[in-house]
Structure 1
Amino acid sequence: MIPVRCGDIATAVGGELVGVEAAAVVDGAVAKDSREVVPGGLFVALPGERADGHDFVPAVTEAGVTVSLTTRPVEGCPCIVVANTQVALGELARYVVAQLPDLTVIGLTGSQGKTSTKDLIAQLVAPYGPTVAPVGSFNNEIGHPFTALQADQETRFLVAEMGARHVGDINYLCRITPPKVGMVLNVGHSHIGEFGSQDAIAQAKGEMIDNVVAGGTAVLNADDPRVAGMRPRTEQTVRTFGEAPDADVRASDVKVDGEGRPHFLLHADGESHPVQLQLIGEHNVANALAAATAALAVGLTPEQVADGLNSAARVSQARMEVTERPDGVTVINDAYNANPDSVRAALKALVAIGRAREARTWAVLGEMLELGDTSSTEHDAVGRLAVRLDVNRLVAVGPGAKPIHLGASLEGSWGNESAYFDTIGEALELLRAELRSGDVVLVKSSKASNLRSLADALLQEAAQ
């Protein structure tokens, strides 16, 4: 973070200085974990499920922080006392970003693909200027300001992934980091239980386009009608991406190799360049096109974009993370999160890899959360799709995922092609007993369903 006087912080966040001089300077990192504080930094005392950050204020003071953001004075400790530390964190980030006129904010949202696209954008622009991007999907009202506070006077690009569970969430995040480039990837079913409908999701995601700053660029998915329909929500330049013939940045001749990696011809600004992605799954073509459009909007050439896409690697874990075990079984760990659209994409990638290798395919699927009244129908549809795609073995894990198995059975699965287990342990027993060399196993679920632990177990046991 840039050096900031405590008096200026107090003014920005509406706080009161207690035990600290206004002239004292914060010139170190901002942290919410007492184990991550640095001398000269700032500690944010957030309430937690297991502990209250205020309990650690004496320890971080001893460790050398300049000041802590708190909701009450802590005896003997320098504090800026505010009504709500989470709100104050956002106001501090907003203040810091406003002090960086040369910073270009690239904001993106969407129902799926945000983190992969964010990672691609960061890799494309980083060679052309110091870049800050969140680790993983640090994209909510807490993670987002912490990412923004990493920017300093040297930072040229801030790639800001923004998630939403309610209408107004993206407006709030954009207030912290007003986007020069604002992108909506897609409108799917993620969090539909919270929003109630895809139209409500579109309304929320479109807040990104509402907030593109004067002279900026809105980036829209030409292949998604709800996203393409956001064009009237801005008076700024609009650039589109997709496979549609009229998209400003588009792909043609899309193919997937034996490792599940897509390659295509990138068309932009009157030029065409071949791209071979290192990422797994044809759905990453759309993510690559979105990243390309953002990079072009900040000044890269089509050739620079294609070169960057060709060399870009997977960064975040548990997102189509492919590992081959010593015994020849390939595990695709995509268990970070799941919604109907991302599960469909993952199943198609699994089948493409299996077909190219002439290998037996397994789909181990857990519950997709936050689908509301559509949950049973959407899980049933995933099971039916697995049968239509000819996935060899389907394993549904956990009570919420049982409709996947039932859907597969009703679609025509027979014998032991589809199985259901209440627990991860039971599913692991089946996999341990029946996996054989050459098999390809996809593990996919919402984060809270914890199938990532199953993927980790499959890899750890084989390595022992």
Structure 2
Amino acid sequence: MIALSLAEIATVLGGDLRLAGPATAETIVDGIVDTDSREMGPGSIFVAKPGAETDGHRFVGAAREAGAALAIVEHVVDEDIPQIVVADAVTALADLAREVVARVRAAGDLRIVGITGSNGKTTTKNFLARILSDEGETVAPIKSYNNEVGAPVTMLRVTHGTRFLVSEFGADAPGSIARLAGLVHPDVAVVLMVGMAHAGGFGGIEATAKAKSELVSAATSSGTAVLNVDDFRVAAMSELATSRGMSVVGFGQSDAADIRAHDVEVTASGTTCVVEAGGERIPLRLQVLGAHHVGNALAAIAAARVLGVSTADAVARLETVEIAERWRMQPLGNDRVRIINDAYNASPDSMAAALRTLAQITGQDERTVAVLGAMSELGETAGEEHDRIGLLAVRLNIQRIVVVGPEARRLFISAISEGSWDSEAVFFPDQDAAFEYLRTELRDGDRVLVKSSNSVGLRHLGDRLGELFS
């Protein structure tokens, strides 16, 4: 974070500064800001966020011992550390992020990119951060820091030397993206897709589309909207963008795209295509598995071009990315038994894309094995969406369908009903039972996909299988 005095921070937050030890109101702090006391270091700021399972106020002492110079609290804690008492710690975190980014922006050349979409946010963020990091200091979220805590924590990592801030915006309800993106008003607003992920929490896919469009509304009016023209709901956001005076850049595989991919091919060693932009045609070879990542790459290239990076440079840098992120199409195992651990998250769209990738990368003499868990947050559509994935797995001729957990049992029943008989589809109530089956069932030539929503935790099963066959 940029250097601020305790008094300045208290003023920004509208809080009550309580001094302790040798600190004065003019004491400067410039360390990281976080809600996790384990992340604290010298000069850092600990935000004591109350939670459903624990209360951050219990860890103020641990934060002080780790070097924290300030605690932002909702009530005074009996610890020898300066404290700023606020009404709401999460709101205070957002207020501090807004102020710090505004000061850096006013003093220098900071450019801000916001990314949202039902799928692909983290991969696109990582792709773009890789491209921009060669241009100057780039701040981007760790993992999927895209909520009311993670997004401001990331923003607060900017300094006066930061040239690019890449923010990832998730949404758990209408208004979430508007609130988070409104903290920084991005120069570039990237919308990837509108899908069924979290649709249960929004009341349907049209409400989801409206929520994603909040990023375009929150961007600067002189900025650029980077939109997926292959998704008609995203493409329709161009009208909103132009009505605000923004420029629009479209990406995708259709002829309407400004940044376009064609000749897409997926193999076990990566994904290739030809990128066409501004009259140039440049081959791209991604080490990341899956045709669906081509769209994420195009989005990153498009955003980078808006920020002044050439297509050739963007492509060259993307080709160095080995994996999108841990637990996202992550290759594990060995050449005999290859595990693809893609169980950090799952939606109907990403589940279908992962199954298609599994079918595409498996050779004629190899066997496809899909280890599948539940997709969460689908609301009243959950049953039919699990049915659809079960049907798709059978129609793609996935040779072993291993369903794990009671929440995914309907997927198993659907596969059986579609014709996956004679032990082609099996069900296990938990990960341990599935692991015991797989450790003896898997054989040379197997290509294994592990896929579920994060809350189901099959990523840990994928790690176990990867270690077993390493």
Structure 1 length normalisation: TM-score? Answer: 0.96
Task: Indicate the larger mover: 67-76 or 199-208.
Answer: 67-76
Residue equivalent to 2:256 = 246
Which amino acid in 1 is paired with 2:103? Answer: Q
Structure 1, unpaired ranges of 5+: none
Change in CA separation of 1:68 and 1:262 when aligned onto 2, cut-off 3 Å: same
Task: Indicate the larger mover: 26-35 or 346-355.
Answer: 26-35
Q: Does 1:153 align with 2:156?
A: no
Q: How does 1:166-181 map to 2 (within 5 A)?
A: 166-181=173-188
Counterpart among 341, 350, 370 of residue 342 in structure 1: 350
Residue equivalent to 1:58 = 61
Give the ranges of 4+ consecutive aligned residues of structure 1 lying more than 4 Å apart after TM superposition. Answer: none
Which amino acid in 1 is paired with 2:339? Answer: V
Which amino acid in 2 is paired with 1:243? Answer: Q
Residue equivalent to 1:317 = 326
Displacement after TM superposition at 1:63 (Å)? 4.3
Residue equivalent to 2:25 = 22
Where 2:362 maps in the other structure, the secondary structure is helix
Which amino acid in 2 is paired with 1:404? Answer: L
Displacement after TM superposition at 1:434 (Å)? 1.1
Q: Is the 8 A contact 1:443 1:452 kept in 2?
A: yes
Task: Indicate the larger mover: 397-406 or 424-433.
Answer: 424-433
Q: Does 1:44 align with 2:54?
A: no
Q: Does 1:197 align with 2:207?
A: no
Counterpart among 77, 88, 102 of residue 84 in structure 1: 88
Where 2:316 maps in the other structure, the secondary structure is helix
Displacement after TM superposition at 1:49 (Å)? 4.1
Deviations 1:351-401 (A, max 9, x none): 11113x631010000000011111110001101001111111101111111
Deviations 1:215-259 (A, max 9, x none): 211011000000001112122000000001021100111112343
Q: Is the 8 A contact 2:333 2:468 kept in 1?
A: no
Change in CA separation of 1:252 and 1:57 when aligned onto 2, cut-off 3 Å: same
Where 1:80 maps in the other structure, the secondary structure is strand
Q: Does 1:302 align with 2:306?
A: no
Task: Indicate the larger mover: 274-283 or 306-315.
Answer: 306-315
Task: Indicate the larger mover: 18-27 or 124-133.
Answer: 18-27
Q: Is the 8 A contact 1:139 1:160 kept in 2?
A: yes
Structure 2, unpaired ranges of 5+: none
Q: CA RMSD in A?
A: 1.4
Residue equivalent to 2:141 = 134
Q: Does 1:329 align with 2:333?
A: no
Displacement after TM superposition at 1:137 (Å)? 0.6
Task: Indicate the larger mover: 208-217 or 273-282.
Answer: 208-217
Q: Is the 8 A contact 2:337 2:469 kept in 1?
A: no
Residue equivalent to 1:237 = 247
Which amino acid in 2 is paired with 1:177? Answer: V
Work out the CA distance in 1 between the residues paired with 2:91 and 2:386.
37
Displacement after TM superposition at 1:90 (Å)? 0.7
Work out the CA distance in 1 between the residues paired with 2:31 and 2:265.
48
Displacement after TM superposition at 1:305 (Å)? 1.7
Which amino acid in 2 is paired with 1:255? Answer: E
Task: Indicate the larger mover: 316-325 or 335-344.
Answer: 316-325
Q: How does 1:80-119 map to 2 (within 5 A)?
A: 80-101=84-105, 102-119=109-126
Which amino acid in 2 is paired with 1:245? Answer: D
Residue equivalent to 1:410 = 417
Which amino acid in 2 is paired with 1:22? Answer: A
Q: How does 1:298-447 map to 2 (within 5 A)?
A: 298-325=307-334, 328-355=336-363, 358-447=365-454
Displacement after TM superposition at 1:285 (Å)? 0.7
Residue equivalent to 2:301 = 292
Which amino acid in 1 is paired with 2:317? Answer: G
Residue equivalent to 1:182 = 189
**Identity of counterpart residues, as a percentage?**
45
Displacement after TM superposition at 1:282 (Å)? 0.7
Q: Is the 8 A contact 2:265 2:273 kept in 1?
A: yes
Change in CA separation of 1:50 and 1:212 when aligned onto 2, cut-off 3 Å: closer
Structure 2 length normalisation: TM-score? Answer: 0.95
Where 2:11 maps in the other structure, the secondary structure is helix
Task: Indicate the larger mover: 145-154 or 66-75.
Answer: 66-75
Displacement after TM superposition at 1:410 (Å)? 1.6
Which amino acid in 1 is paired with 2:453? Answer: S
Q: Is the 8 A contact 1:61 1:78 kept in 2?
A: no
Work out the CA distance in 1 between the residues paired with 2:330 and 2:120.
14
Q: Is the 8 A contact 2:371 2:450 kept in 1?
A: yes
Work out the CA distance in 2 between the residues paired with 1:284 and 1:363.
20
Change in CA separation of 1:276 and 1:462 when aligned onto 2, cut-off 3 Å: closer
Work out the CA distance in 1 between the residues paired with 2:76 and 2:433.
51
Displacement after TM superposition at 1:46 (Å)? 1.2
Displacement after TM superposition at 1:181 (Å)? 0.5
Which amino acid in 2 is paired with 1:350? Answer: L
Q: Is the 8 A contact 1:45 1:69 kept in 2?
A: yes
Displacement after TM superposition at 1:444 (Å)? 0.3
Change in CA separation of 1:248 and 1:87 when aligned onto 2, cut-off 3 Å: same
Displacement after TM superposition at 1:33 (Å)? 2.2
Which amino acid in 2 is paired with 1:18? Answer: R
Residue equivalent to 1:34 = 37
Q: Is the 8 A contact 1:24 1:66 kept in 2?
A: no
Task: Indicate the larger mover: 48-57 or 148-157.
Answer: 48-57
Where 2:104 maps in the other structure, the secondary structure is coil
Change in CA separation of 1:401 and 1:3 when aligned onto 2, cut-off 3 Å: same
Work out the CA distance in 2 between the residues paired with 1:202 and 1:59.
42
